[in-house]
Every structure is written in C-alpha cells, then in structure tokens.
Amino acid sequence: MASSTSPTLQVCRDCGGGAPVDAHFCPQCTKILSLGRHGDYFAFLGVPRKLQLDPGDLERRFRELSRQFHPDYFYNATAAERRASLERSSYLNDAYRALKNPVTRLEYLLRVEGVPVSGSAETAEREGFNRATPPPALLEQVFALNEELDEIREARSSGAPAAAWKARLDAARLPIEAKRDTHQAQVDELSARWDGLVDDGGSDAAKRDVLQALRDCVLERNYINNLLSGIERELNTV
C-alpha cells in the first residue's frame, strides 16, 4: 500500500544531519527544515492516518504549528529559513483544510493510500446529474427519478400549477435523501472498521477491502449529492 513506500528520512540543508521525514526542525542544529521530502497531511500534523479524528485536537495542533512556522519568527533568519517557514505554513494550511472536514479527509486518505476516486462531484455537476453513469447501487433510484422528472417537466410545460409539480419534486426528493442517510451510516461503519485496522495493525488485504468499499461510497455520495442538486435546480425553475 502507499504507506509502505513513504520516505522515512530527510536531510537538513544547513548541517547535513538526518531527521525523521515529518520533523519540522533539525534535531542537530534546530533550524527549520525545508519542506522538500515529507510524508503526508496526517503525519505532518502528527495524527494517525485515521478517519475519526478529534476536531479539537486537530485544531490545537494546527495552531501550535502555525505559531512555530509563522514568518515573523524568521524575520532576521536566512533566506532559506524564511522560505522554509513560508513553505511549511502554506502546507500546514492545506493539510488542516483537508483533514478538518470528514468528506475531504476521506478523499485524501484514499488518495494517499493509492485508491483515488476518479471523477469529482464538480465534473458530474458540469455533465448533468442524469447523464453521468450512475453507480450500480443507485440504478433503481436514478431510473425512477428520471421517469418522474420527465413527467414533471411535461406537466410544467403543459401549464400545470407550480404548486402541483413542486409537490411532486418534493416527494421525489424523499427517497434520495433516505438513501443519503443510509449511505452516511455505511460510511461511518466503514470508517470505524478502517480505524480499528489501523489501531490493531490489520493486514494489507483487510485494509484494501475497506478502502475499496470506502471508494465506492465516495462515488455514490457524489452522485447522490448531484441528484439532490438536480432536484433543487428543477424546483428553482420558473
């Protein structure tokens, strides 16, 4: 898996000493290390590669590192140190932004574990929610919704009162929202399984199975959100 091939050491450009890959300051000369070779967002913030993280702890780590990297502390330092503080501050902001949100945290975990999600929610939005290929688990809901939408559009073009066709759209949204809730429960269960495997040193095969299931969930989540966005657009049609 991706974690097994991650680098483990970095070299201080000031003194030439070695440091753990996710150290921020050289243990020999104490100078801030250039970003260069490093691990991932989780290791950078000093948290395990898990999905259920304590928001308070994450924010505390972010604020502590923000103070350590702040460019004001390196005002009289060398150009290389000033550059390193800016690089680490920027990377820290990216890391915190990705990990503080459970949705982006999951997508980032999949990417660093080598199971990226192809096709973003934004791409599906551009293509139109009823034209993208639906995940197999959603086929029944998608077909039923498309048939209902066709009938609603026909009724609307025939001059049906707005209250009538909007009521049908509201009703059509209910099973999609129920699917979203069921899906979230599945994501929560898989996330707990992943964290348990991390804590217990689970096998690569077991981890890979959970990651693949989580990847399928992300694809379904994006499609569900796109379906709901499509319904909302129809509701706002005059």
pLDDT score of 228 more than 70:
yes
> For residues 145 and 109, which has the higher predicted lDDT (pLDDT)?
109
pLDDT tens-place string over residues 23-43 = 888 888 888 888 876 679 999
Which band of pLDDT confidence, cut at 50, 70 and 90, is reported for residue 238? low
Strand partners, 32: 25
Q: Which CATH class is domain 2-112?
A: mainly alpha
Give the model's pLDDT for residue 121: 44
Nearest residue to 172 via CA among 221, 110, 234? 234
Give the model's pLDDT for residue 132: 54
Average of per-residue pLDDT values in the chain: 86
Which band of pLDDT confidence, cut at 50, 70 and 90, is reported for residue 128? very low
User: CA 192, CA 214: separation in Å to the nearest integer?
Assistant: 11
Strand, helix or coil at 54?
A: coil
Give the model's pLDDT for residue 137: 78
> For residues 129 and 144, which has the higher predicted lDDT (pLDDT)?
144
For 9, which DSSP code?
Answer: E
> For residues 146 and 187, which has the higher predicted lDDT (pLDDT)?
187
Question: In Å, how far are 2, 37, 67, 84, 213 from 116, measured between CA atoms?
Answer: 11, 21, 33, 29, 12
Give the model's pLDDT for residue 143: 85
Q: What percent of the chain has pLDDT over 70?
A: 89
pLDDT score of 229 more than 60:
yes
Do 10 and 23 meet the contact criterion of CB atoms below 8 Å apart? yes
Radius of gyration of the chain (CA): 24
User: CA 123, CA 11: separation in Å to the nearest integer?
Assistant: 40
Give the model's pLDDT for residue 1: 55
Give the model's pLDDT for residue 155: 86
Give the model's pLDDT for residue 187: 95
User: CA 189, CA 195: separation in Å to the nearest integer?
Assistant: 10
Give the model's pLDDT for residue 134: 77
pTM for the model: 0.80
| Phi, psi angles (nearest 5°) of residue 60 | -60, -45
Give the model's pLDDT for residue 118: 65
pLDDT tens-place string over residues 38-96 = 679 999 999 999 999 999 999 999 999 999 999 888 988 899 899 999 999 999 999 99
Q: Where are the domains of the chain?
A: 2-112, 121-235
pLDDT tens-place string over residues 182-215 = 999 999 999 999 999 999 999 999 999 999 999 9
